[in-house]
Amino acid sequence: MERLRALMTRKNAGRGLASVVVAAQEAQKEASAGPPREKLRKMAKLLRCVGGLCALSLAVAACGAAAPTKATAPSTSRVAFDYGVFQEVAVTIGGLKLGNFSNLPHMTPVTEASGGAAIPLIASGTLAGQADIAPLPLVLALARDVPLDVVWLTGSLPTSMVVAKSITSPLQVEGKKIGIVSGTIDEFVMESYLAAHGVNLAKVDFVNLPGGALVAAFKTGEIVGAAQGPPTSTDIIAAGGHAFYTTQIPVFDVFSQAFVRSHPGTVQRFVCDAAQANGGLLKDPARYWAAIGAAMNLSTAEVGQLLPVRDVAPEDQARVRAWEMSSPSLLNVAVATGVGMAKAGLVPSAPSRRAVAAAFDPKFADAVAAGKCGS
């Protein structure tokens, strides 16, 4: 167990995603004994991620079995599968709190996992898919020939690099400690930003900490900055920091192609419920902000600042073809992320624009737009 914890600790620049993937693979071996649902719970403890753009992980336990790999399994919205909710300011949290996913009564909360850590688990069939992930794990999946279908765009979340006010140039972070949550899109965006500004990443002391510990570490002087989205980034700014940048990252829902083929009815029901959550927030944001706030111990006003309506994707995604027309464009961001990951040596080569576009499966969003979700 200590060896796995060590694998999850990142000290060397440019190795965060790789270490998370290794930890996920080791976790699979560690949790090889016991029934499938218990295996998942064991891996949950090993792959726990407490910050950044972590995700709602969907893990199949259909009738106590692992994820189906053949299209002969029955297609039904009553397939039993576990999922984990990462507690962050996101539409999904409000939707779960307000019963938007009640049409999937066999979904049971289990665990959290970062998007990067989830990819080898999806590849092995342990996970059926993941919601609210960012482009980085999608590119990792494409590069490793893990077939995924993007079925729904949730919206976008901000990510920032925030540092002490005494640091006015990116070059000044060399020789200093910067807090990260290893394997997240926040880390990748920050490293790309620093490299583009001439920073030698090998000279930066990256400290892997849980997201909730970054603010305290900044206040005590353990770190001089961090790469995270709100509320961590805004709390660090309130504690005397400032942002080098803030950029929006698209977040979206994926399932393995095997699960989509075997259980399209379940996937459709999930997408319909996700659409209900998106539409509900757009129609009555205060109600959803209050629900998210109750789960996150934040006020309605604070959630409204962290998740403004403009960052929520529309319910009718067939109309806008959200992955191309959204701002920022999910397609463009994913392609650019692949190029950056290839340059950093995280993947052998960048997936082509055609390969990224082929991962988007519009039929479930089309059904939402056509009013086929029912009452």
What is the three-class DSSP state of 102?
coil
Question: What residues have CB less than 8 Å from 48, skipping those under 6 apart?
Answer: 111, 112, 113
Mark whether 338 and 306 lie in a shared domain: yes
Mark whether 264 and 301 lie in a shared domain: yes
Separation CA 362–CA 364 (nearest Å): 6
pLDDT of 320 above 60: no
Mark whether 138 and 214 lie in a shared domain: no
Please compute Rg for the chain using Cα positions: 20
Return the pLDDT at 214.
Answer: 94
Mark whether 80 and 194 lie in a shared domain: no
pLDDT tens digits, 335-355? 888 888 888 787 888 898 889
Mark whether 188 and 131 lie in a shared domain: no
Position 19, amino acid? S
For the beta carbon of residue 65, count every other beta carbon within 10 angstroms. 14
Mark whether 83 and 113 lie in a shared domain: yes
Mark whether 112 and 209 lie in a shared domain: no
Q: Which residues of 201-216 are buried (b: 16+ CB within 10 A; e: fewer)?
A: beebebbbbebebbbe
Asked if the structure places residue 17 within a domain, the reply is yes
Separation CA 254–CA 149 (nearest Å): 5
Position 170, amino acid? P
CA 98 to centroid of chain Cα atoms = 21
Domain range enclosing 313 = 2-155+252-369
The tokens for 293 are 């706030």
Position 345, amino acid? G
pLDDT tens digits, 152-188? 888 888 889 999 999 999 999 999 999 998 777 888 8
pLDDT, mean of residues 23-30: 40
Mark whether 43 and 141 lie in a shared domain: yes
Mark whether 93 and 223 lie in a shared domain: no
Mark whether 151 and 163 lie in a shared domain: no
Asked if the structure places residue 375 within a domain, the reply is no
Q: What is the 3-state secondary structure (H, E, C) of 287-322?
A: HHHHHHHHHHCCCHHHHHHHCCHHHECCCCHHHHCH
181 neighbors 51 (Cβ within 8 angstroms) = yes
187 neighbors 180 (Cβ within 8 angstroms) = yes
* Residues paired with residue 312 on neighbouring β-strands, in sequence order: 155
pLDDT tens digits, 33-54? 344 334 333 333 333 332 233 3
pTM > 0.85: yes or no: no
From 325, 326, 335, select the one nearest 358 (Cα to Cα): 335
pLDDT tens digits, 202-215? 999 999 987 779 99
Asked if the structure places residue 374 within a domain, the reply is no
Mark whether 186 and 274 lie in a shared domain: no
The domain that holds 171 is classified in CATH as 3.40.190.10
The tokens for 335 are 């392609």
Where are the extended beta strands (E) located within 326-366?
none
Which pairing describes strands 56-60 and 177-180: parallel, antiparallel, or unpaired? unpaired
Tally of domains in the chain: 2
